[in-house]
Amino acid sequence: MKTQTNSTPAANQTSLTFVPHADKPETKNCFRFDERTENGMPPKIGTLYVQKWALGNKMPQELTLTLTTK
């Protein structure tokens, strides 16, 4: 009997933090967030738009997005 092994390479994860956009934090149907960067690095994503209904129609003070690459 053969045993299967999972040869999938390990996934890399990066967590990015977003805060509400300073000038115009929402549109008619979306909340708008700006990526918070560290040490003067350029943003990896930039501005992020999230549908209001996906967040329960309440603007969070901070949003964390985890990117997983395989």
With 80 as the cut, is the pLDDT of residue 10 above it? no
Residue 3 lies in a domain: no
How many domains does the chain divide into?
1
pTM of the model: 0.76
| 51 within a domain of the structure (yes/no) | yes
- Tell me, yes or no, whether 57 lies in a domain: yes
Q: Is residue 10 part of a domain?
A: no
Domain span holding position 35? 19-69
Identify whether 14 is part of a domain.
no
Distances in Å between the Cα of 13 and the Cα atoms of 22, 27, 28, 41, 70 are 28, 30, 32, 18, 9
Q: Is residue 36 part of a domain?
A: yes
Instruction: Give pLDDT, residue 11.
Output: 81
Residue 33 predicted with pLDDT over 60: yes
